[in-house]
Amino acid sequence: MVQRKNVRASDGLANVRYEIRGKLARRALDLERLGYDIISLNIGNPYAFGFRTPETMRLAMIENLRNSEGYVHQKGIFPAREAVVMQQQERGVRGVTAEEVFIGNGVSELIDLALRALLNAGDEVLVPSPDYPLWTAAVNLNTGRAVHYPCRPEHGFIPDPAEIEALITRRTRAIVIVNPNNPTGAVYPRATLAAMAAIAEKHRLVVLTDEIYDHILYEDAEFVPMATLVHDTLCCTMSGLSKVYRACGYRVGWAAFSGDIESAGEYLAALELLSSLRLCSNVPGQWAVQTALGGFQSIRNLTSPGGRLFESRQAILDGVARSKYLRLSRPMGALYSFVEVRGDVLPDFDDQEFALELLESKHVLVAPGVSFNYPKRNFFRITNLPEPQVLATVFSRMEELLDGRAGTAPTLQIVPPAAQVRKR
């Protein structure tokens, strides 16, 4: 008889996590198969909540399907890259041509390629905490070490440049900036970004700026493109169609390089080599880029008062304001809220335990704060993509569960949908 031997996973995955689609999400799927209706707030997937990609983008893709059957240039089709160049130029970014733009299978692939082309074993990358966990995972997968700089709730999750600079060592190669931020919804002030740019230039760090939520802003929030502030070191701006244009499934992202291009020839050649090894990224979706960036920006209708995203965000703010247990740093951008459970009221709170109990007993799926490489155990992330009345139901269920944990009788009632939205 042949002796069986277990197939082991690579040791390189030991420090790689992506709990947003981890055990909790798998348990939620099991419950759905048993017939339960689960309110899934763990992933920012607009399509799942009824949002559609603009029709002009779909038509652009359909009309060019006959031009999408073969491989294209490893950096992407020229019209898509040129559209990214024009957007950068309109924002005041200097020195970008189509040669400095790479199209990828979403920003996710570009994060991996950009780090793989850059890092040697043990090189350090400064990553925000809390972070979008793919950044930490990609650093670890590419033999680097993620060094987390704190973004504290008492400061609105805005990082302190002095704390960042104190973490720099001779092994530090790059700094990651996610703005508008996932998971916190923070939008970084110009002064903070300028200070971070100065630190990167001083220490010759590559700036990797994730700006996938650049147009998703609320109230008077101002988005400042990092590439307009970085001149004397290399800056990589990443964005794509997934969020602003509600086209997650198209898997189209881009990386535009600016700043000190002259010193980065070897690195950019390495990135092109890696792009060539996967031949090219998804071609049909690339034909939507020019139409997306040059057309009507319908996202503004969704984020303005009365718009779907604005009102759902307001339902979250109202739900937190009514709660005896919750606190929230007001999210000014992106599609998420990073909600805090008050330690003075529930001192022994555990985010993973709470998320599991909320799923099992109330059929609501959230992402625990530790999923985002955050050391505190009293936070969780939710998305504002559902309708306001759904979010009102969510907060009612949360309050009931937290009442039980605190040993008090439930006091929060589900408010009728019409009363959920604060008119402005």
What are the sequence ranges of the domains in the chain?
14-43+304-419, 55-294
Assessment of whether the complete model's pTM goes beyond 0.75: yes
pLDDT band at 424 (very low <50, low <70, confident <90, very high): very low
**Confidence (pLDDT) at 413:** 41
If DSSP states are collapsed to H, E and C, what string results for the chain? CCCCCCCCCCHHHCCCCCHHHCHHHHHHHHHHHCCCCCEECCCCCHHHHCCCCCHHHHHHHHHCHHHCCCCCCCCCCHHHHHHHHHHHHHCCCCCCCHHHEEEECHHHHHHHHHHHHHCCCCCEEEEEECCCHHHHHHHHHCCCEEEEEECCHHHCCCCCHHHHHHCCCCCEEEEEEECCCCCCCCCCCHHHHHHHHHHHHHHCCEEEEECCCCCCECCCCCCCCHHHCCCCCEEEEEEECCCCCCCHHHCCEEEEEEECCHHHHHHHHHHHHHHHHCCCCCHHHHCCHHHHHHCCCCHHHHHCCCCHHHHHHHHHHHHHHHCCCEEECCCCECCEEEEEECCCCCCCCCHHHHHHHHHHHHCEECEEHHHHCCCCCCEEEEECCCCHHHHHHHHHHHHHHHHHHHCCCCCCCCCCHHHCCCCC
**Confidence (pLDDT) at 408:** 63
Are domains 14-43+304-419 and 55-294 of this chain identical in fold?
Answer: no
Q: Render pLDDT for 302-344 as a digit per residue (tens, 0 to 9).
A: 999 999 999 999 999 999 999 999 999 999 999 999 999 999 9
List the CATH code of the domain at 55-294.
3.40.640.10
List the CATH code of the domain at 14-43+304-419.
3.90.1150.10
**Confidence (pLDDT) at 48:** 93
Report the chain's C-alpha Rg in angstroms: 22
**Confidence (pLDDT) at 4:** 83
Q: Render pLDDT for 349-370 as a digit per residue (tens, 0 to 9).
A: 999 999 999 999 999 999 999 9
Please tell me the distance from the alpha carbon of residue 172 to that of residue 120, in angstroms, as a whole number. 11
Contact by Cβ (8 Å): 354, 380: yes
What the block records as the tokens of 234 is 């290399």
Indicate the residue type of 192.
T
Strands across the sheet with 253-259, in order? 101-104, 253-259, 234-240, 206-210, 172-178, 124-129, 145-150
410 CB contacts (<8 Å, ≥6 apart)? 399, 400, 403, 404
Among residues 238, 173, 218, the alpha carbon closest in space to that of 336 is found at 218
48 CB contacts (<8 Å, ≥6 apart)? 40, 385
Q: What's the whole-number average pLDDT of the chain?
A: 93
Among residues 177, 169, 162, 164, the alpha carbon closest in space to that of 123 is found at 169
What the block records as the tokens of 76 is 């992407």
pLDDT at 414 over 50: no
Strand partners, 176: 208
Q: Phi and psi for 365 in degrees, rounded to 5?
A: -105, 120
**Confidence (pLDDT) at 411:** 42
Q: Render pLDDT for 164-220 as a digit per residue (tens, 0 to 9).
A: 999 999 999 999 999 999 999 999 999 999 999 999 999 999 999 999 999 999 999
